């Protein structure tokens, strides 16, 4: 190895370290803002845990049944509500927070600093994944209290979780990019999400073939199914459903990249 | 040393509206320049082009030798410039120290957080949540965010709006200290007293063009502005008795004239002849506010102001 390439390698590793430090810095402050804000901490974080606890109280004693596809009620709800928590922490949180930050001029202020855009978004993504992971761990814990065994395929769950979180983050940024009015953002985000979760079996199993076929091409059901496999059915990563999810994530990313604005006033 | 800012022939339209038609000025290193003009004159658009938030349709813009429209040098430029925007834009749930420390992490060589807190007068409030700060305190926090990167060039967009008089005085003092340390400052303001007190030079915009430029105290003289002579007269005199045209306003005679020497000579001669006095006599040079109002209203009425421009 020549000295020149050695220097280049050293410079690259120095830059990598400083990039990672920047990312950690960014994630740390996103976490701080998130946990300090009662609205995000309660609605985004506590709600899914509370939801699964209530479902456990209501259906904890319902054993395996064909209505829940051969699973017990709580075996069914732990992954679907886990998915719901990811939707809330990623899609819901970003759609609302980014629209609000843009309207308040906070995004413009960030843009005026040397922080690169990639670091801002990577920081948000890592922050959202972190919130999702903590939320899912709590949901699994509550499920365990109601007798749902711990899942065995952790790698498949990790893959599904990161891919799902990334895809729903991209969709959340896309929605925040398309909506310019921060007051409208929560309404629009929920308006899209609520019926979608309903027909995707988040709240109850859907036994309509037509609905299932339609929702199978939308982003929520594939995520539910991809989580249910490794959580309850002892299967590995569900590549078919993950592919549909990734396609939606890619679409979201394209819209986000093309339409995202930092400035509250359009040019 | 090259100029910190060079702008020439700058143009920008939004649809059919020409926000900036032809703007040119320079700002030397370590100089304070105020950009003045009524709402809609093109100040904010000009500033946003220089800050890199908007693209220009034409003209030249060099900021610290870099082109603000060039994406490849954007990060470098942001390392070296700081800005304080009109809107208060800070996360409500972080503390003062956290907010500033967060921004400090974005720069290669930031100022020390504690120093900046002291500079903007927020000492003692480090652990307060941003949401519990008063409007004026949030503006100071904004200012802190503009300073934390230790910028060579600082943009201040109406920096003291909402400040009480003491806070405003402190902010002016800070701006002067920054200039003394070599920071170049481009500010906008609607407060002519602020421009007069702070700016080395002012640039007056109207309807997207520069209508005047110069030192605040020079502008009046150069634009044929009128000196204001005010006095009272004891006993029974009316304006018609005077040898000059004056108005009787609020118990005092007010006279505006482009030739004060002549007017004062006539007035004092008149008073001496009659054995009376010009009580409370004051002679004031043209105030920047008067010059500004005339320049911008003239320009709005006719497209070319009388007298010399530029």
Model pLDDT for residues A19-70, shown as the tens digit of each residue: 999 999 999 999 999 999 888 888 888 999 999 999 999 888 888 888 888 8
Q: Which of B55, B83, B105 sits opposite A112 (nearest CB)?
A: B83
Nearest CA in chain B to A18: B108
pLDDT of residue A1: 56
Q: pLDDT digits over A196-215, tens only? A: 999 998 988 888 889 888 88
Q: Which residues of B touch A (CB under 8 A)?
A: 14, 51, 53-55, 75, 78-79, 82-83, 85, 87-94, 98, 102-103, 105-108, 129, 145, 149
pLDDT of residue B5: 95
pLDDT of residue B109: 93
Residue B306's pLDDT band (cuts 50, 70, 90): very low
Mutation for testing the A interface, residue in B91, B96, B109 having most A CBs under 10 Å: B91
A104 with B83: Cβ contact below 8 A? no
Rounded to 5 degrees, φ, ψ at A43 are -70, -45
pLDDT of residue B217: 79
Q: State ipTM.
A: 0.87
Looking at A189-198, B107-116, B128-137, B211-220, which range is the least confident one?
B211-220
Which residues of B fall within a CB distance of 8 Å from A36? 93-94, 129
Q: Which of B82, B90, B105 sits opposite A25 (nearest CB)?
A: B105
Sheet holding B58-63, edge to edge: B58-63, B5-14, B17-27, B209-214, B201-206, B32-36, B184-188, B153-157, B81-84
pLDDT of residue A8: 86
What is the largest distance, in Å, between two alpha-carbon atoms of chain A? 69
Which residues of B fall within a CB distance of 8 Å from A267? 14, 54-55
- Closest approach of chain B CAs to the CA of A171, in angstroms? 23
- Mean pLDDT of the residues in chain B: 87
Residue B33's pLDDT band (cuts 50, 70, 90): very high
- Pairing, β B153-157 against β B184-188: parallel
Q: Is A119 helix (H, G, I), strand (E, B) or coil?
A: helix
Nearest CA in chain B to A39: B93
Joined tokens for residue B176: 């002067």
In this prediction the pTM is 0.84
Q: Percentage of chain A surpassing pLDDT 70? A: 99
pLDDT reading at B178 higher than 90: yes
**A170-193 CB burial, b ≥16 within 10 A, e <16:** bbbbbbbbebeebeebbebbeeeb
Q: Provide CB contacts within 8 A for A101, sequence distance 6+.
A: A107
């Amino acid at each position: 190895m020549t000295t020149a390439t050695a220097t280049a390698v050293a410079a690259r590793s120095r830059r990598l370290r400083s990039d990672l430090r920047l990312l950690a810095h960014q994630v740390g402050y996103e976490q701080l803002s998130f946990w300090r804000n009662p609205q995000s901490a309660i609605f985004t974080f506590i709600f899914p845990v509370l939801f699964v606890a209530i479902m456990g109280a209501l259906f904890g004693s319902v054993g395996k049944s064909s209505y829940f596809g051969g699973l017990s009620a709580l075996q069914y709800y732990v992954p679907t509500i886990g998915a719901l928590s990811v939707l809330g922490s990623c899609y819901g949180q970003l759609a609302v927070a980014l629209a609000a930050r843009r309207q308040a001029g906070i995004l413009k202020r960030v843009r005026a600093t040397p922080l690169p855009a990639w670091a801002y978004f990577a920081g948000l993504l890592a922050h959202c994944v972190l919130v999702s992971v903590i939320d899912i761990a709590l949901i699994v814990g509550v499920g365990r209290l109601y007798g749902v065994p711990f899942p065995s395929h952790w790698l498949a769950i990790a893959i599904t979780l990161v891919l799902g979180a990334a895809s729903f983050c991209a969709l959340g940024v896309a929605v925040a990019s398309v909506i310019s009015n921060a007051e409208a953002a929560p309404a629009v985000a929920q308006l899209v999400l609520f019926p979608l979760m309903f027909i995707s079996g988040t709240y109850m199993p859907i036994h309509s073939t037509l609905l299932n076929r339609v929702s199978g091409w939308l982003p929520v059901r594939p995520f539910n199914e991809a989580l249910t496999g490794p959580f309850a059915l002892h299967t590995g990563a569900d590549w078919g459903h993950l592919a549909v999810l990734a396609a939606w994530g890619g679409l979201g990313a394209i819209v986000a990249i093309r339409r995202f604005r930092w400035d509250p006033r359009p040019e | 040393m090259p100029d910190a800012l060079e702008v020439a022939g700058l143009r920008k339209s939004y649809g059919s509206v020409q926000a900036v038609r032809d703007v040119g000025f320079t700002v030397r290193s370590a100089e304070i320049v105020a950009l003045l003009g009524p709402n809609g004159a093109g100040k904010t658009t000009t500033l946003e082009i220089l800050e890199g938030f908007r693209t220009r349709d034409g003209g030249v813009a060099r900021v610290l030798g870099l082109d603000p429209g060039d994406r490849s040098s954007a990060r470098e430029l942001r390392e070296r410039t700081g800005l304080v925007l009109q809107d208060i834009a800070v996360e409500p749930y972080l503390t003062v120290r956290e907010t500033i420390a967060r921004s400090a992490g974005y720069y290669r060589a930031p100022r020390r957080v504690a120093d900046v807190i002291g500079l903007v007068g927020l000492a003692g409030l480090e652990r307060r949540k941003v949401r519990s700060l008063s409007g004026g305190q949030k503006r100071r926090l904004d200012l802190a965010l503009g300073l934390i990167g230790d910028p060579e060039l600082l943009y201040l967009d109406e920096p003291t709006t909402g400040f009480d008089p003491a806070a405003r005085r402190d902010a002016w003092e800070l701006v002067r200290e920054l200039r003394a340390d070599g920071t170049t400052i481009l500010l906008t303001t609607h407060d002519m007293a602020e421009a007069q007190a702070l700016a080395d030079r002012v640039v007056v915009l109207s309807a997207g063009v520069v209508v005047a430029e110069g030192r605040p105290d020079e502008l009046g003289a150069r634009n044929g502005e009128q000196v204001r002579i005010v006095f009272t007269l004891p006993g029974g005199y009316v304006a018609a008795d005077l040898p000059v045209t004056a108005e009787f306003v609020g118990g005092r005679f007010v006279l505006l004239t482009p030739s004060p020497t002549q007017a004062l000579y006539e007035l004092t001669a008149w008073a001496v002849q009659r054995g009376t006095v010009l009580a409370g006599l004051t002679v004031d040079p043209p105030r920047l506010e008067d010059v500004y109002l005339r320049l911008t209203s003239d320009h709005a009425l006719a497209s070319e102001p009388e007298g010399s421009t530029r």
